[in-house]
C-alpha cells in the first residue's frame, strides 16, 4: 500500500506532539477548596429499616427475583435500588454499629427474619408475588429426547 508523503509527515508530527507540548505550570500553593463537604448525616431508624430490608432481599436470589418480578417500576430501576442499598449497608457498616443498634434495635436480623416470613405469605416488600401460571415443572420431554439420542448413538455405533 502506498502512503503519500503528506500522510507520513502528519503521522510523524502527531506522534511527536506530546514531546513538543509546553511544560505544565507549577502547582499553585494558593488553591482553596470551593466545594463544601456535606456534613455526615446520622442515619435514622426508618432509613436503617429500609436499607436492612432491601439488603435482606438482595442477599437471597429467590427473594431478589421475586422482588424484581413484582416491582411495578421495572427490573432496571428496581435492581438499582437493591444494589445501592446493599452497597450503603456495607459501606456504613450498619449491622455492627452499636449506637444505631442500641437506638433502633438490630433491624438487620429482624429484616432477615421478616422478609422470609413475608415471602412465605406471598409478599415481597409490600408487593404481592404471584406464582407463575401454566408453568410445567419437570423434564419429561428432555429426558425422552436424550434417551432417544442415546439409543440412536448406541444403535448406529453397533452397526459400524
Q: Residue 127 — φ and ψ, nearest 5°? A: -105, 140
The residues, any chain, with a CB within 8 Å of residue 48's CB and separated by 6 or more, are: 94, 100, 104, 107
Give me the residue spans of the domains in the chain.
Answer: 45-128
Distance CA 69, CA 154 (A): 44
Q: Which residues pair with 124 in a beta bridge?
A: 127
Q: Residue 131 — φ and ψ, nearest 5°? A: -70, 145
> How would you write the pLDDT of the chain (160 residues) with one tens digit per residue?
566 788 888 777 777 666 555 656 666 556 666 666 655 567 888 888 888 888 888 888 888 888 888 888 877 888 888 888 888 888 888 778 888 888 888 888 888 888 888 888 888 887 788 766 655 666 778 888 888 888 888 877 666 6
Please report the pLDDT score of residue 10 as a whole number: 77
Burial 94-118 (b: 16+ CB within 10 A, else e): bbebeebbeebebbbeebbeebeeb
Amino acid at each position: 500500500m502506498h502512503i503519500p508523503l503528506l500522510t507520513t509527515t502528519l503521522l510523524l508530527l502527531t506522534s511527536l506532539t506530546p514531546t513538543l507540548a509546553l511544560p505544565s505550570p507549577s502547582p499553585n500553593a494558593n488553591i482553596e477548596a470551593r466545594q463544601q463537604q456535606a456534613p455526615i448525616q446520622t442515619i435514622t431508624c426508618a432509613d436503617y429499616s429500609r436499607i436492612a430490608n432491601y439488603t435482606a432481599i438482595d442477599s437471597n436470589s429467590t427473594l431478589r427475583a421475586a422482588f424484581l418480578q413484582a416491582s411495578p417500576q421495572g427490573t432496571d430501576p428496581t435492581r438499582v435500588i437493591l444494589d445501592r442499598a446493599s452497597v450503603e449497608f456495607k459501606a456504613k457498616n450498619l449491622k455492627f454499629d452499636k449506637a444505631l443498634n442500641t437506638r433502633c434495635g438490630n433491624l438487620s436480623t429482624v429484616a432477615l427474619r421478616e422478609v422470609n416470613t413475608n415471602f412465605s405469605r406471598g409478599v415481597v416488600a409490600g408487593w404481592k408475588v404471584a406464582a407463575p401460571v401454566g408453568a410445567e415443572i419437570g423434564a419429561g420431554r428432555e429426558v425422552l429426547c436424550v434417551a432417544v439420542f442415546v439409543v440412536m448413538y448406541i444403535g448406529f455405533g453397533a452397526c459400524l
